[in-house]
Amino acid sequence: MLKRLFESIGEYFLLLGKAISKPQKRNVYMKLLVREFYDLGVNSFGLVLFTSFFVGAVVAIQMFNNFDASSFPIPNSFVGYATKTVLILEFSPTIISVILAGKVGSYIASSIGTMRVTEQIDALDIMGVNSPNFLILPKIVASVVFNPILIAISIVIGIWGGYIAGVATGNWTTADYITGIQMYMPSYFIWYAFLKTAVFAFLIATIPAYFGYNVKGGSLEVGRASTQAVVWTMISVIIMNLLLTQMFLS
């Protein structure tokens, strides 16, 4: 099993080697890129907005509950500060990336896998098209460029979710919450969040692409590959999260 794992990692990097090269035809590549921006990015807006709003609200309520139960008094303005910091450092980049690994990852693995079993990838290869480059590179670029935008929106919506939770429950005032949001936070937290998101986006685009590209069989295998792709992408995102946190925040 360990041998198979190392073989798969080797195949993954070989596939990346073929995928990350100069596109054969720039205008065809640009068309594909625009389509991937739409399929991978714009199509994920709704899910990101919905999830971020509720995550932000839940984080704010839990922060308030913990601060309220504390043995020493913590000002209510810290609810805003803590919500902002937690969303920027962890919830938006990691949780939203894990959700995108499920949504976008299964889409990438199944679409490329279906192309494999219906011989569309063979057709590309026989025509002389570099199929990994044609299929995977636009997905990598679209994810790495668009996911940070999604995460930025997620942070804003999450903070707004926290604000609405305060208004709805009456546990903290609007003024307290806004004061907390305006408290100082190191600017590299933001860069760390975007760097993390870009790395996760790369994993979200490439790991499912690897599973889809190497499907053998029929529709059942495409389904299996899609599931495996999502599982391994999530595992990779979580492990990478630990490594990046240790590297940049310790």
| Secondary structure letter of residue 22 according to DSSP | -
* x/- map, 34-73, other proteins, by CB under 8 A: -x--------------------------------------
Contact status: 118 vs other proteins (CB under 8 A): yes
Q: Which two tokens stand for residue 122?
A: 């063979």
**Backbone phi and psi for residue 23, each to the nearest 5 degrees, phi listed first:** -60, 145
Q: Among 7, 11, 68, 119, which residue interacts with other proteins (rule: CB under 8 A)?
A: 119
Contact status: 15 vs other proteins (CB under 8 A): no
| Secondary structure letter of residue 217 according to DSSP | S
**Shortest Cβ distance from residue 230 to other proteins (Å)?**
22
Contact status: 188 vs other proteins (CB under 8 A): no
Residues 6+ apart with CB under 8 A from 108: 40, 139, 204, 205, 208, 209, 212, 229
Contact status: 221 vs other proteins (CB under 8 A): no
Residue 197 near residue 148 (C-beta atoms within 8 A): yes
**Shortest Cβ distance from residue 123 to other proteins (Å)?**
4
Q: Among 9, 14, 28, 239, which residue interacts with other proteins (rule: CB under 8 A)?
A: 28
Q: Which two tokens stand for residue 85?
A: 């910091």
Contact status: 24 vs other proteins (CB under 8 A): yes
Contact status: 25 vs other proteins (CB under 8 A): yes
Residue 117 near residue 219 (C-beta atoms within 8 A): yes
**Backbone phi and psi for residue 242, each to the nearest 5 degrees, phi listed first:** -65, -45
| Secondary structure letter of residue 76 according to DSSP | T
Which span (55-63, 111-119, 208-216, 232-240) binds other proteins, by CB under 8 A? 111-119
Binding residues for other proteins, rule: CB under 8 A, are 24-25, 27-28, 35, 114-115, 118-120, 122-123, 125-129
